[in-house]
Amino acid sequence: MAEQKLLVKREGDFHYPIYLKNDFQDLAGAIREEGLENRKICIVTDSHVAPLYHEAVKSALQEISSEIFSFVFEAGEKNKNLNTVQELYKTLIENEMDRKGLLVALGGGVVGDLTGFGASTYLRGIDFIQVPTTLLAQVDSSVGGKTGVDFLQYKNMVGAFHQPRLVYMNMSTLQSLPNREFTCGMGEILKTGLICDEEFFRFVCKNQPEISKLDLSMLSRMIRRCCEIKAGVVERDPKEQGERALLNLGHTVGHAVEKMKNFQLLHGQCVGVGLIAAAYLSMQRGLLTEEEYEEIRKGCHSYNLPLSVDSLNAGDVLAATKKDKKMEAGHIKFILMDGIGKSFIDKTVTDEELLQAIREILI
């Protein structure tokens, strides 16, 4: 698998690198290159990732730091909350972490979002790096600096924009990832193609057998393209004043379903059904053909993403979409598709249209 490095603009002339690697061997060197060596380090990870990769990462980090401690919390979206952040603060204080300290987020999107938020608020902001180990985190959550936690069942309600100092992914960690989690990453990947790259969307659909078998060259091509697209959007609009909202394609209905299902359905799976709802609404408006709509459903289905969800009431899901933080002056900022690989922000979607689209994904 080709190993590669991309650069993302942070602010002014500052950039941070994204490393696409097959092991942890160059992690210390990557940190040194950013001038982050000889700092106290806290590795933040969860209970599933710790037994798999904590030791390897710790021993790689020992090359550039003699003071390393760890914070491990129970895996799962249900722990992406302020209680866990408080436990992290306590561990940092107990270990006398100062402003020069470095947090290392080792895990999926839950670990990355929570660690980034901890880093953005502890002592008014310290540095952190992302070491993503899920497909979803490698293609989406580790890049772009959206950090945060859920609050009272509202998704990502409390958070901050805080860019990592570097992203280092060891793509071979995907070999231990459960299938359902791999599928979640595919939800965000298909989303990325649908937003702005028709050729990429078709590449991902066409090569489903190889990608699902973790063919290394296909995987690295796919991950790289996703990171490139996300990095481009984030560079142009780091704080979601405009274009970045496109990355929310499928998330209006997706986040509502995630919340209504009490987080039993995973984020990437909810994005999958959210994509179907957004595609249906786009088709109803004459922006997508029936063939394109079917192609999107087929693409999602081929990666085992759910096409529908059970035991939910359409009115309740609609009400939940209204509580999303993307509301603006009473209007939902909805992302529609204008053909495959083209998308735009629309504030005119009516309750009736949305309800119809929600009914389309409910059993």
Ligand X SMILES: NC(=O)c1ccc[n+]([C@@H]2O[C@H](COP(=O)([O-])OP(=O)(O)OC[C@H]3O[C@@H](n4cnc5c(N)ncnc54)[C@H](O)[C@@H]3O)[C@@H](O)[C@H]2O)c1
Smallest distance from ligand X to CB 353, Å: 25
Q: What is the DSSP letter of 54?
A: I
Q: Which is nearer to ligand X, 173 or 321 (CB)?
A: 173
Q: How far apart are CA 265 and CA 98, in angstroms?
A: 38
Q: Which is nearer to ligand LNCXM5UN, 60 or 247 (CB)?
A: 247
* Token reading at 218: 């296909």
Q: Is 162 a catalytic residue?
A: no
Window 120 to 149, contacts with ligand LNCXM5UN (CB under 6 A) = 140, 144, 146
Say if residue 55 carries a ligand binding annotation. Answer: no
* Token reading at 209: 């057998």
SS3 159: strand
Closest to 362 measured CA to CA, from 274, 292, 299, 282: 274
Q: Does 224 bind ligand LNCXM5UN (CB under 6 A)?
A: no
Q: Does 80 bind ligand LNCXM5UN (CB under 6 A)?
A: no
Length in residues, the chain: 363
Do the beta carbons of residue 347 and residue 333 sit within 8 Å? Answer: yes
Q: Is 146 a catalytic residue?
A: yes
Say if residue 111 carries a ligand binding annotation. Answer: yes
Which of ligand LNCXM5UN, ligand X, none does residue 244 bind (CB under 5 to 8 Å by kind)? Answer: ligand LNCXM5UN
Q: Which of 79, 156, 170, 248 is catalytic?
A: 248
Do the beta carbons of residue 149 and residue 81 sit within 8 Å? Answer: yes
Q: Does 251 bind ligand X (CB under 6 A)?
A: no
Say if residue 188 carries a ligand binding annotation. Answer: yes
Q: How far apart are CA 350 and CA 343, in angstroms?
A: 18
Binding mask 124-153 for ligand X (x = CB under 6 A): ---------xx-xx--xx--x-x-------
Q: Does 164 bind ligand LNCXM5UN (CB under 6 A)?
A: no
Q: Is 240 a catalytic residue?
A: yes
Q: Using the Cα atoms of residue 222, residue 276, residue 271 and residue 236 in order, give the sign of their dihedral.
A: positive
Q: Does 251 bind ligand LNCXM5UN (CB under 6 A)?
A: yes
SS3 345: strand
Window 269 to 288, contacts with ligand LNCXM5UN (CB under 6 A) = none
DSSP-H helix ranges across the chain: 27-33, 55-61, 82-94, 109-121, 135-136, 179-196, 198-206, 208-212, 216-236, 251-260, 267-284, 290-302, 314-322, 351-360
127 bridge partner residues: 102
Nearest residue (beta carbon) to ligand LNCXM5UN:
156
Closest to 181 measured CA to CA, from 130, 136, 226, 247: 136
Which of ligand X, ligand LNCXM5UN, none does residue 197 bind (CB under 5 to 8 Å by kind)? Answer: none
154 bridge partner residues: 151
Closest to 144 measured CA to CA, from 226, 253, 263: 226
Q: How far apart are CA 223 and CA 203, in angstroms?
A: 12
Q: Does 75 bind ligand X (CB under 6 A)?
A: yes
Q: How far apart are CA 291 and CA 137, in angstroms?
A: 31
Say if residue 342 carries a ligand binding annotation. Answer: no
Binding site for ligand LNCXM5UN (CB under 6 A): 140, 144, 146, 155-156, 188, 240, 244, 247-248, 251
Which residues of this protein are in contact with ligand X, per CB under 6 A? Answer: 46, 48-49, 52, 75, 77, 80, 107-111, 113, 133-134, 136-137, 140-141, 144, 146, 156, 173, 176-177, 181, 184, 188, 267-268
Which residues define the annotated binding site for NAD(+)? Answer: 109-113, 133-134, 146, 155
Provide the annotated active-site residues. Answer: 124, 146, 188, 230, 240, 244, 248, 251, 255, 267
